[in-house]
Structure formats: structure tokens, C-alpha cells
Amino acid sequence: MPTTISISKIDVAYLEKCADHGLTYGIIICQKTEPENFQVVHLAKNCEEENEPLQGIISIEDISTQALATQWISACKMCPGSFNVQGVFIASVRKDIDNDQMDVAVRKMLYDLLNLLLQGNNFCVSIDEGNTPILFLAYSTVSKRAVCKAYIHNTSGGTFESVKYNYLDKPNQWHAFECLYDLDDIFPIFDDTQKINIENQFQHAIYATKRKLSGCEIFIENTCVDDSLSVEVFVAGNRKRASNENFKATVFLAVKRHHNNEKSVKVRKFNGTIRFLGIISSRIWCNNKNSLGDAKRFIRNDILRSLAARVQVYCDGLTDPHVSNDAIFISEPPRRVFFSIFVDGAMNPIQFSEYIFRGEAPTVAVAQAKQILDLDISTENIVADLEGLPDDEIISDISLSHLPKTSSQAIFNSPKYLTRSMYILSIAVSLLVLLLSVWLHYLLN
């Protein structure tokens, strides 16, 4: 079955606007449904470091694959699990947007781009499934014509496949699903070298989390729902809830059982641990044509991507990924904030997200939304109360003597713990009550 892409009138208007600068390029964010059907969710032109539109681009050869790769990786962290960065678009004032010469240039550009994305430990990019083919969309403001192709990456330079595209008369109706995922996992480090590559160890931990999530069951509105049921039918049966709040999802993880067999349990020596601790706030969006199976898959993707995004931010701050095998690290990762977007003055029901550290103002998310997604938002559009900050005493009260060597601990929106002062106060109150009861006993006798 051929690949199909759906594009709205709003997207066409954006392409018209982008082409005012000659040749403009950027990324395509889509929602993928089975089989190879893609719904364009957002188009974002590529901007320079100072937020100014790229000028002077006249051909495909002038496109910076490094700038595209940077934008692609950053946008992956900002997309909810129901959406993927799926391709590249160009908007041009030229008529000839489809010829053999351009075909060769586009293939080389996408080949170089994919090679850049596959290099290094780009956690959010590497965990995304089904991200092939890569879409390429070219639009001419002169001929008012669009050309779309699907690029299949391989070591010999890649190939193109035909794509059928259609225009949507009206935007999709979106429905939000959300859940809180309680994360408390410890992963062993078996590397016994003097200098351990912590990025590789994080990669192993993320893949282990991915396998764990793949075997989970997800209830929606506290009900085990049929995966084949369409979102439209489900919403119709829950209309009261759909009108004023998001649908709630709950993740139930499978419990591994060991039989009374000594061979079923393995004991291995390890040299350290990585611990993920806290609560991840997950939120995804589905349209009426999605199934509840799609919704569950999107939630799994979102949880994993949110975890990978925070690990990516942590690793980007490392001056050297190699750490000694007797080191102990405790890190407070950034918290997740969502922001609403506006299209033609009206609020779009979907949201994207960003990650900010303690002490950072929401204006950081505003700047990132503009630079990466070409979105003009204000601090009022940011939903920053879904994930709270952990107490300051959490880190100071952790006993390092109980942590194994070479452990890196990531604390994600941890629940409140009793502080040392609260323990002392409770003990003092208990002693006071005890002394008072003894005194009353002797006094009454």
C-alpha cells in the first residue's frame, strides 16, 4: 500500500508565507497511523541562531544539513509521543520543484541528514520506532503545486518511493489522554573498565525501560479497553468527560514471576547502578480515526521519550562522558512543561512540551518554541504545574554510604520525603507524650 500524507489548508498557508524569503526549509511533524498514513501536525521552518529567517538560500545544495539535524533533535524532545519529526519540507518561488537534478540533490541532502542523526547518542532519535520512511515535501508558490516523496535510507545513498497526498478541508478534532507514570528502577552497570562511558550506560537503561513498557497494559478511564475500538466511538460513549477534561490513562506493568527453580534465578556481579526515580507526566493527542491501540502506543512512546529527553539534557551538559568507576553522581533533571499554540489567532487543542531546570524562568520555553518550532507563544500559554520540583532536602538527605559505587541517580519529580528535622521533631513529641503519661500515672496513684 503506498504511503499517504494529509495536509491542511493551514499548512499550505504556512508554506506560502515561508516562500516569501526565496527558498525556505524546515521540518515536518506528523502523526503516523497504520499502515503508512501520515497526518501533518505542524511545519516549522529552520532559523538561524539569532532567530532570524535564513536568507540567500536559492537551491537544495545550500541547505545546511547540520542546522536541520540540530533542529530535528531538539524538536524530537519537544514532541509528545503521538507525534514524530517525520521529514523535511522546502517552500520555493521556483516552478521546477520536481526534476532529475533536484532529485539527486534531495537524495544527497537526506542521506547526509540521516547519517548525522544516527551519529552519537541521540537518545530521543534512537528510541523512536517506525520513523521510516522520511518524508520530503516541496511546495511552489508560483505553480501552487506540491510534490511529496518518501525517502528510504540505506548505505548506497537511499531511494525514493511515491507518496499519495491529499488536502483536508477542515482541521482534525483532537482528544487528549494523560497519565502519571511512577518511575523507580535500578539498572546494573557491568562495565568493569576504569573509565565508564556513562552515555552508553544510559542508553542501555533506556532500552531496558523500553522493553519493560512494551509488556505493560494500559487502562483508560480505569477500564481495560479494546485496542481495535476507535477513539471516535470511545469519546461518544464518554461524552461528559470529553467535554471538560482529558481522558485518564493508567499504566500497569507486568510482574516477573520466578518458579521454584534455582536455574530460573541468575546472580551476577556488577560494578555500579543507575537509578531512575520520580513521576513522569505524560500527555498525548489522538484524532477520531485513531484506535485506542494507537492511544496506548502513543502513551508508551511519550513516557519513553520524556525520559530520554531528560537524559539527553543531562548528557549534553557533560564535558566528558567517561567517569571513573568509583564516582557517585546525584542529578536533579529538568521538569516538563507543556505549552499551548495558536493558529490564525485561535488556540490549537494540541500542545508541545519543553524541559526547564530549577531556577529557570518559563521564558526559556518561549525562546525554544520560537527557535525550534517557529511558534510565537507567551508565558501565559505555558502549563507549568503538572510536574512539581522535588524538595531541597531530598538530595541532601540521601545517604551516600548506601549508594553503590558508580551510580548515577536521576530524580524525576520525586514525591515529598520526610526531612531530618521532621524526624527529630516527631521523636521529641513522642518523648514528651511518654514523659507526660508517666507523670500523670504517678500523680493519679
pLDDT at residue 27, as a whole number: 96
Please give the span between the terminal C-alpha atoms of the chain, in angstroms, as a whole number.
Answer: 92
* 240 band by pLDDT with thresholds 50, 70 and 90: low
Given a contact cutoff of 8 angstroms between Cβ atoms, the answer to whether 181 and 282 are in contact is yes
Report how far residue 134's alpha carbon sits from residue 148's, in angstroms, rounded to the nearest whole number. 11
pLDDT at residue 122, as a whole number: 80
Given a contact cutoff of 8 angstroms between Cβ atoms, the answer to whether 135 and 93 are in contact is no
Cell numbers given for 423: 524526624
Going 80 to 123 to 75 to 410, the CA torsion angle's sign is positive
CA 81 to chain centre: 6
pLDDT at residue 127, as a whole number: 63
Q: What is the pLDDT of residues 130-182, one digit of tens each?
A: 547 889 999 988 888 888 999 988 877 788 888 888 888 877 889 999 999 99
pLDDT at residue 423, as a whole number: 53
Q: What is the pLDDT of residues 40-95, one digit of tens each?
A: 999 999 986 444 444 567 788 889 999 999 999 999 999 999 999 999 999 988 88
- Residue 438's contacts (CB-CB under 8 Å, 6 or more residues apart) are none
Residue 246 identity (one-letter amino acid): N
pLDDT at 418 exceeding the cut of 50:
no
φ and ψ of 52, to 5 deg = -100, 140
Q: What is the pLDDT of residues 225-236, one digit of tens each?
A: 999 999 999 998
> Which of 79, 76, 69 minimizes the C-alpha distance to 111?
69
Given a contact cutoff of 8 angstroms between Cβ atoms, the answer to whether 250 and 179 are in contact is yes
Residue 297 identity (one-letter amino acid): R
- In this prediction the pTM is 0.83
Cell numbers given for 73: 533533535
